[in-house]
Structure 1
Amino acid sequence: MIRSLGGILLALSLWVAPALGEEPVTQLLSFDDLDGWASDDHGAALSAFLETCGDMRGPDWQSLCSVAKDQTANPRAFFELFFRPVLITDGADPLFTGYFEPELDASTRQSGRFRYPLYRMPKEARASGPWLTRRQIEESNQMTGRGLEIAYVDDPVELFFLQIQGSGRLRMTDGRMMRVGYGGANGHTYRSIGQELVRRGIFESHQVSAQVIRNWVRNNPVDGPELLRHNPSYVFFREVRGVPANKGPLGAMNRSITPMRSIAVDPAWVTLGSPVWVEKEGAMPMRRLMIAQDTGSAIKGAQRADVFVGTGDDAGRLAGEMKDSGRMIVLMPIQRAFASLTEDPAG
């Protein structure tokens, strides 16, 4: 996956999911109830749907996937004919955040500039139970001399954010572009450094963003690295081959995800691969059909989603600013839609 280990705000935001004490409520809607439905680019949504629908389980999904391949001439009619919109709520406030695929400068050789390694996961870290903490990994020699280095980057702060995202692209000094993905973790629970900055009284909660944290760490050469070590969790990587440079990173369904058309959801509420209508508010309002193709450890609840914004610094800035309200409506195959009114919506 671009392992939305939460996406950038997933890991950094101060939002905490409320207790889900209420019974889930499902409501069958019509397409006329979807704000902006008629003006969306349904063809773009269909292309994203086709990326993963062949891997969905169930004869109804497989049949729909086969039909979808012949619907490029009228994609809106395809969705309206074979699906019904279902609003699922669980008592928690809706929340939309964003995540992205970082790009870092890197080299296969360590040098004065490229000093910070991306490691493969060592065998002993795969044993059950937490392994070394972030501090222990960085300050000990447990990783050196073992050929575990995939590449070296020139910015420890960007490396930290790459670990939060779980995958990214490396611009190598020889001109190649290398894609890396999540290869495992050390087993320690993530601690939010954004929350820690608020706890210390350095920032108010509304001031914290990815860029604010970057700037603070870089402007504090002693306290900055120590702040990063407040998070004991450490992510290892693997090189991802076979994904063309013009396609997005792999999501939870092990297929490329699409900028502004793929979202990370809670699979306990939304079947992966499902079309989802998103009505998002905020500085970048959104009314569009998206596809649930990823997951994230902080994406929990019926009305919680992480929007995949894209690749690179501009996408990172947009993702880092996204923390908005709205609503999401799942498009279900007709029989599933009616069954959801009396059954577990993700069943």
Structure 2
Amino acid sequence: MSMASLSRPALPRPARRGPALALVAAALVLAGCASTPPAERPAPVAQATPTPATPAVVAPSGPAAEPAPWLRARARWVPVDWAALPGWQADRAAELWPALRAGCARPLAAWAAVCARAQAFNPPDDGFAREFLQRELQPWRVESHDGETQGLATGYFEPLVAASRRPTAQFKVPLYRAPADLASRRPYWSRQQLDTLPAARAALAGLEIAWVASPLDALILQIQGSGRLRFTEADGRSRQVRLAFGGHNDQPYKSVGRWLIEQGEMRADGANWPAIRAWGERASPARLNEMLWSNPRMVFFREEALPDEAVAGPPPGPRGAQGVPLTAGRSVAVDPQAVPYGTPLWLDTTEPLAATPLQRLVMAQDTGGAIVGAVRIDLFWGAGELAEQQAGRMKQPLRVWALWPKGSLPPS
């Protein structure tokens, strides 16, 4: 599939969603973290070098020895020079700061000192931000244990779906809270059983959060694991709430895109979300249900209030697996056995719509069931139509570099 969110099951995410899809146009800035930018570029800060844990590979001896490669459960990190990062000088590096500050709200021990310094200022320009990162961090090429450096970049987003608090002729597909007996029945009823069996349907009675217009609207919310609902009030005003991940039925996740390919309805290179939605909109009800039921997993939600956008500006992104809000275009989902949450990454990939280079700094702040392996990320594009198009079509070749505090080792 061309979209990670179509191949990734929704998983529990701390304080949020699950499909992992930052997807706001403006980046989140944590209140109280920034102070007036310094008038001059800061001088190098003397740092005490932490005593590192024993690395997986012993470093060569001698005064000019480089750091040794680090082995994690699903990745090998190899130290490199900054010149090895393609396009490093061209990125708008200052745009990383909102996502960096968000990650620094829950830093690993190795990041405490760097985060304290990063939170003390707003970089006045991209060069300032790059200088800070180069002074504080060491770049590492991320590769598989057998040395493979090429991988896959996909995308996800936060759907925005029109909804109603009551069922109507237009809005007739319910979205549910988690049932009370969810934990006592493993696995829980499948998607098809919840749609068709009286006993299963009875278990969801009264748990409706809202109703949406199409089963495809419900499906994309469940694939992404969270989203926003837009309600139209009696006076014509629009109001949004967030649906955060509330649990799932413990059934296996099956990709509807893969099902369509196996049915001969789509080619593998064309099974993206826009194409899947278009197929579903023209399919017969029986055929549409067959596609929906090919994925037995059902996702349940919980509602979260959002601030008034007219007063507070665009709402923050949903919370990722690190437990911090995601930042559109600067947060990614990773395999945490390859890259720890809170790690800045340098991506070398291409744009999904224009196939032009996409080389940028991002923060590892989320995960997903299909995001497995060393060179594998899912880029959070934010919310809205453009984010949906970008995420829905993203399936790009990828190389990744991790940035880590100098003199420190990541957790094994």
TM-score of the two chains, using structure 1 as the length reference:
0.88
Q: CA deviation at 1:46?
A: 1.9
Q: 2:116 maps to what in 1?
A: 66
Number of the residue aligned with 2:318: 249
Of residues 37, 40, 53 in structure 1, which corresponds to 2:91?
A: 40
Deviation at 1:25, TM superposition (A): 3.5
Tell me by how many angstroms 1:9 deviates. 5.0
CA distance in 2, matches of 1:8, 1:80: 36
Match of 1:123 among 171, 180, 196: 180
- Please tell me whether the aligned partners of residues 9 and 319 of structure 1 are also in contact (alpha carbons under 8 angstroms): no
For residue 11 of structure 1, report the CA deviation from its aligned partner.
Answer: 5.7
Q: State the alpha-carbon separation in 1 of the partners of residues 240 and 75 from structure 2.
A: 45
Counterpart contact for 2:240–2:306, Cα < 8 Å:
no
Q: Quick one: which amino acid aligns to residue 298 of structure 2?
A: Y
Residue number in structure 1 paired with 2:381? 309
Q: Is the 8 A contact 1:168 1:181 kept in 2?
A: yes
**Residue 171 of structure 2: aligned partner:** 114
2:168 paired with 1:170: no
Given that residues 113 and 154 in structure 1 are in contact (C-alpha distance below 8 angstroms), is that contact kept between their aligned partners in structure 2?
A: yes
SS at match of 2:182: helix
- Code of the aligned partner of 2:341: L
The answer to whether the 8 A contact 1:170-1:178 is kept is: yes
Q: CA deviation at 1:153?
A: 0.7
* Deviation by residue 1:295-341 (Cα, 9 ceiling, x = unmatched): 111101110000001102221111111101120100011123xx4xx
User: How far off its partner does 1:284 sit?
Assistant: 4.4
Q: What code does the residue aligned with 1:326 have?
A: L
Structure 2 partner of 1:55: 106
Tell me by how many angstroms 1:82 deviates: 0.8
One-letter identity of the residue aligned with 2:293 = R
Structure-1 residue corresponding to 2:361: 289
Residue 234 of structure 1 aligns with which residue? 298
Which stretches in structure 1 are left out of the alignment for 5+ residues? Answer: 13-21, 340-344
Which of these two proteins has the greater Rg computed from alpha carbons? 2
The corresponding residue for 1:7 is 5
C-alpha separation between the residues in 1 aligned to 2:89 and 2:107?
27
Distance 2:75 2:174 in 1: 45
Q: Which residue of 1 aligns with 2:342?
A: 273
The amino acid of 1:269's aligned partner reads A
State the secondary structure of the residue aligned to 2:316.
Answer: coil
User: What is the match of residue 134 of structure 1?
Assistant: 191
Structure 1 vs Structure 2 CA RMSD: 2.2
Q: Deviations over 1:109-162 (max 9, x none)?
A: 111111111100001112252110101111234445742111111111121111
Q: Would you say 1:197 and 2:260 are equivalent positions?
A: yes
In structure 2, the residue matched to 1:209 is 272
- Tell me if structure 1 keeps the 8 A contact 2:341–2:366: yes
Question: Sequence identity, in percent?
Answer: 35
Q: Tell me if 1:319 matches 2:391.
A: yes
Q: How far 1:26 sits from its partner (Å)?
A: 2.6
Q: For the Cα contact (< 8 Å) 1:9–1:99, is it kept in 2?
A: no
Give, as a single letter, the amino acid of the residue that structure 2 aligns with 1:95.
L
Amino acid at match of 1:252: A
More displaced 10-residue stretch of structure 1: 281-290 or 291-300: 281-290
Q: Which amino acid aligns with 1:280?
A: T
**Equivalent-residue separation in structure 1 for 2:178 and 2:133 (angstroms):** 43
For 1:23 and 1:219, the matched residues in 2 are separated by: 42
Aligned-partner Cα distance in 2 for 1:149–1:23: 40
Residues 96/346 of structure 1: CA separation in 2 closer, same or farther (3 Å cut): farther
CA distance in structure 2 between the partners assigned to 1:201 and 1:109 by the alignment: 38
2:157 & 2:7 partners in 1: Cα distance? 10
How much does 1:34 deviate? 1.0
Partner amino acid, structure 2, of 1:155: S
Name the structure 2 match of 1:77.
131
1:15 corresponds to: none
Aligned counterparts of 1:130 and 1:23: Cα–Cα separation in 2: 29
Residue equivalent to 1:16: none
C-alpha distance in 1, partners of 2:86/2:292? 42
Tell me the number of residue pairs that the alignment of Structure 1 and Structure 2 aligns: 326
TM-score (norm 2): 0.75
Range with greater deviation from structure 2 (68-77 or 106-115): 68-77
2:25 aligned residue? none
* Amino acid paired to 1:55: R
CA-to-aligned-CA distance 1:195-242 (integer Å, 9 cap, x gap): 111212222211211111111111112211221111110000001236
For structure 2, the residue ranges without an aligned partner over 5 or more in a row are 11-72
Letter in structure 2 aligned against 1:260: G
Structure number with the higher helix fraction is 1
Partner of 2:63: none
